Amino acid sequence: MKHLLLLKYGEISLKGKNRAYFENRLVQNIQERLKDFSYILHRRQGRLYVECDDLRVISILQETFGLVEICPATKTSPDIDLIKQVALEEMRRYLGDRPSTFKVDTRRVNKQYPLDSMQISRMVGGYILRNMPNLRVDVHTPQTRLEIEVRDEVFMYLERYRAVGGMPYATSSGTVLLLSGGIDSPVAAYQMARRGVIIHPLHFHASPYTSEESFEKVRELTRRIARFTGPLRLNSINLAEAQKVIRKETDERYFTILQRRLMTRLANRLARKLKAQSISTGENLAQVASQTMEGIRCTHAVSELPVFRPLISFDKEDIVIKAKKMGTYDVSILPYDDCCTIFLPKTVITKPRLEDVEQEESRLNMEEILEMTWKTWKREYV
């Protein structure tokens, strides 16, 4: 095969005894993501290499959680004269006649090798310098950096493609991720998945008051998140009947917060069912009723499981940038009807007090509402 890619991972290498667990999962995820390409994946001495013909593999690997860098590399045998020669060829191919400062960095993984890393760097650097008069050595801030890894074979590389980092998907337990049709929650899903957390998306709709199109939009968002995670199953619950009851029985100013408490209870129920260990949302602190500190406190109070809000401190602008980058933004901004806005009253309390909320909620038969709503739970492949 034409190309050899060296895959670098960051934090996994710090995991000590658990390293194999993280590595195994990373390998499985890579295999899953590259299944439409022909490639060979090697795993040797704590390193992963991919041989492939198609360079589109690079962009897929760049989006694989757990990898920090992809380096197209050249392989040669560990003979020092050969190393010098191949290094020179590589530098010429990469730079042409361009002037540049450069540095050679060597890692000697094979401790039996007769030269140490400093000696190798110096010998190779000197040879390049003698043959490429346009170059100058700069060991502190070189414009061009040739890295050499001496193992049973020798690898060298000049180019590096940054990858997304994080931890391999599915190395942590699950979270029930509250997925609306908006901009924020898909980004929240990405942030959690990037730490290895398994995502169980849950969408609340209010069919027939919300349209089939708005549901389809959430399916499409789920598919786009799945680009990073592998196939996802979308959970959905119909809130319409519960919303009607809440609207009828309680002070309308508490509608939003009571609805969110109901969502949180249902998310906990689903989490127990799926053995997920947490709930995650796209909430971030802003002046809407449910996302003030007081609002969040009142919602949080009914959650047995921890609720993660990975976007809590983000500016909207930063969330938009992330949404565009992960490819969900253009779907999120499609016009749609949201279950949260269908029954929305004219006035809301932005700083609810927990005692007042509980008082208001006590007008409802919560057990009955939960049972009735839970019955509408569906789970589908998207």
As a whole number of angstroms, the distance between CA 211 and CA 328 comes to 20
How far apart are CB 323 and ligand ATP at their closest, in Å?
A: 9
Q: Decide if residue 256 touches Mg ion (CB under 5 A).
A: no
Kindly tell me which of 180 and 264 has the beta carbon lying closer to Mg ion: 180
Residue 261: contacted member of ligand ATP, Mg ion, none (CB under 5 to 8 Å, by partner type): none
Residue 73: contacted member of ligand ATP, Mg ion, none (CB under 5 to 8 Å, by partner type): none
How far apart are CB 280 and ligand ATP at their closest, in Å?
A: 7
Let me know: does 67 contact 165? Beta carbons within 8 Å.
yes
How far apart are CB 180 and ligand ATP at their closest, in Å?
A: 3
For 356, the 3-state DSSP assignment is helix
Name the residue type at position 158: L
Among 166, 168, 282, 310, binds ligand ATP (CB under 6 A): 282
How far apart are CB 314 and ligand ATP at their closest, in Å?
A: 11
Kindly tell me which of 79 and 318 has the beta carbon lying closer to Mg ion: 318
As a whole number of angstroms, the distance between CA 249 and CA 240 comes to 14
Q: What Rg do the C-alpha atoms of the chain give, in angstroms?
A: 27
For 147, the 3-state DSSP assignment is strand
Among 29, 64, 121, 180, binds ligand ATP (CB under 6 A): 180
Which contacts of 109-114 are long-range, i.e. CB under 8 A and separated by 24 or more positions? Answer: 109/45, 109/149, 109/150, 109/151, 110/78, 110/150, 110/151, 110/152, 113/78, 113/150
| # residues near ligand ATP by CB under 6 A | 19
- Which tokens sit at 333? 């901004």
Binding residues among 137-196 for Mg ion as defined by CB under 5 A: 180, 182
Terminal Cα-to-Cα distance of the chain (whole angstroms): 35
- Which tokens sit at 232? 């996802």
| Cα-based angle 135, 139, 145 (whole degrees, multiple of 5) | 65
Q: If we measure between CA atoms, which residue out of 56, 60, 68 comes closest to residue 33?
A: 60
Residue 282: contacted member of ligand ATP, Mg ion, none (CB under 5 to 8 Å, by partner type): ligand ATP
Kindly tell me which of 156 and 202 has the beta carbon lying closer to ligand ATP: 202
Binding residues among 189-208 for ligand ATP as defined by CB under 6 A: 202-204
Q: Which residue's structure tokens are 């690898």?
A: 155
How far apart are CB 183 and Mg ion at their closest, in Å?
A: 8
Binding residues among 330-359 for ligand ATP as defined by CB under 6 A: 338-340
| Residues that bind ligand ATP in the complex, under the rule CB under 6 A | 178-180, 182-185, 202-204, 281-283, 288, 290-291, 338-340
